[in-house]
């Protein structure tokens, strides 16, 4: 159902970090040199990843040994997976200043898994059910963008595109051209297409071998000037969200997909396309 794609930089970085985390979990305490030897990464790359993992509270370093930190300890408990993801979403919400939505496409349906909003980051004003408006919402567009042509057409056959505003795209060919215009890892935007009350952006979080998933942000229309900047911030923060998903998603495995730079975001290679339609 999902299209085959090259692994994006954020996912590649998350998988490299996962390799280190799994070694740390298995040993209960390991030095940087031993991690470097076991992972096959350079000492510089290992040190970079360890620094990021400490900053995100995945690990703690005591006496030169790296051990599981608070986040990794929560991830080790199945009953803490949903609270951990909610904690991550709440932190990103406050960092970016926008409501967030984690969504999945499974069995042909759009499903909002978790969301995070606050008085200063209000939720989307729901105009129509998300499962029925995939052609108009950023959530729906990001999920449809990850599907192949047949799956897209099957979805539109079940949920015929209808105009929700004067900017809603209802023609399938035009919609698919919009989804694919900026490449497979670009942000998908909803600029007054679902509603005239919000503007939104979303990114794919789909993991190899798993249901199509995305993360989306929503802003009130009067904050539309913040949309591109907020979308860029969400992209930069997606590595931590991806790593959390890897640690809390059953049977998630590390693909044999190389990346020329296993480092985390804030490099040119780790950036994604940000372009309004």
Residue 112 lies in a domain: yes
Q: Is residue 89 part of a domain?
A: yes
Specify the pLDDT at position 275: 39
- Give the residue from 175, 246, 242, 182 showing the smallest Cα distance to 215: 242
The pLDDT value given to residue 259: 42
Residue 150 domain-assigned (yes or no) = yes
pLDDT mean over 19-25: 93
CA-wise closest residue to 129 among 143, 120, 139:
139
DSSP bridge pairs for 217? 100, 201
Bridge partners for 251 per DSSP = none
Q: State pLDDT tens for residues 186-231.
A: 899 999 999 999 999 999 998 877 889 999 999 999 999 999 999 9
CA–CA separation, 186 and 245 (whole Å): 20
Residue 273 reports pLDDT greater than 80: no
Residue 191 tokens read as 């600029």
State the total domains in the chain.
1
Asked if the model's pLDDT at residue 265 lies above 70, the reply is no
In a domain, 113, yes or no: yes
Range of the domain at 187: 82-237
Q: Is residue 26 part of a domain?
A: no
Tens of pLDDT, residue by residue over 120-131, are 999 999 989 988
Give 187's contacts (C-beta < 8 A, 6+ positions apart): 201, 202, 203, 231, 235, 272, 273, 274, 275
Contact at 8 Å (CB) between 28 and 35?
no
Classified as helix, coil or strand, 100 is: strand
pLDDT tens-digit series, residues 57-109: 999 999 999 999 999 999 999 999 999 999 999 999 999 999 999 999 999 99
The answer to the question of residue 252 being in a domain is: no
State how beta strands 109-116 and 212-220 pair.
Answer: unpaired
Tell me the per-residue pLDDT of 133-191, one tens digit each, with 9 for 90 and over: 999 999 999 999 999 999 999 999 999 999 999 999 999 999 999 999 988 778 999 99
Q: How many CB atoms lie within 10 A of CB 43?
A: 12
Q: 110 lies in a domain?
A: yes
Q: What pLDDT is stored for residue 260 in this prediction?
A: 38
Q: Which residue has the tokens 């795209």?
A: 169
Count Cβ atoms within 10 A of the Cβ of residue 119 and give its class: 0-12 exposed, 13-18 middle, 19 or more buried: exposed
CATH code assigned at 229? 3.30.450.40
Answer whether residue 164 is part of any domain: yes
Q: Tell me what percent of the residues of the chain surpass a pLDDT of 90.
A: 70
- The beta-carbon contacts of 15-19 under 8 Å, at least 24 apart in sequence, are 15/246, 15/254, 15/255, 15/257, 16/41, 16/45, 16/49, 16/259, 16/262, 17/49, 17/52, 17/53, 17/58, 17/239, 17/243, 17/264, 18/243, 18/246, 18/247, 18/254, 19/254
Residue 94's pLDDT is 96
């Amino acid at each position: 159902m999902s299209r085959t794609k090259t692994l994006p930089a954020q996912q590649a970085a998350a998988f490299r970090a996962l390799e280190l985390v799994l070694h740390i979990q298995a040993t209960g305490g390991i030095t940087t040199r031993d991690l470097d030897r076991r992972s096959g990464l350079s000492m510089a790359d290992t040190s970079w990843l360890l620094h990021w993992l400490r900053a995100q509270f995945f690990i703690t370093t005591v006496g030169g040994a790296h051990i599981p930190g608070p986040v990794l300890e929560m991830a080790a408990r199945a009953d803490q997976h949903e609270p951990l993801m909610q904690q991550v979403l709440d932190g990103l919400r406050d960092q970016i200043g926008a409501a967030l939505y984690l969504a999945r496409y499974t069995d042909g349906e759009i499903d909002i898994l978790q969301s995070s909003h606050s008085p200063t980051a209000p939720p989307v004003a729901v105009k129509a059910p998300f499962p029925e408006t995939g052609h108009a919402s950023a959530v729906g567009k990001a999920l449809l963008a990850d599907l192949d042509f047949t799956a897209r057409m099957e979805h539109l056959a079940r949920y015929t595109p209808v105009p929700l505003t004067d900017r809603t795209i209802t023609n399938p060919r035009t919609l698919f051209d919009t989804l694919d215009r900026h490449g497979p890892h670009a942000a998908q935007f909803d600029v007054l297409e679902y509603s005239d009350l919000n503007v939104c952006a979303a990114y794919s979080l789909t993991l190899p071998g798993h249901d199509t998933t995305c993360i989306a942000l929503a802003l009130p229309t009067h904050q539309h000037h913040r949309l591109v900047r907020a979308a860029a911030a969400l992209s930069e923060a997606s590595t931590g969200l991806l790593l959390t998903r890897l640690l809390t998603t059953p049977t998630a495995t590390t693909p044999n997909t190389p990346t020329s730079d296993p480092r985390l975001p804030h490099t040119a290679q780790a950036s994604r396309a940000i372009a309004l339609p």
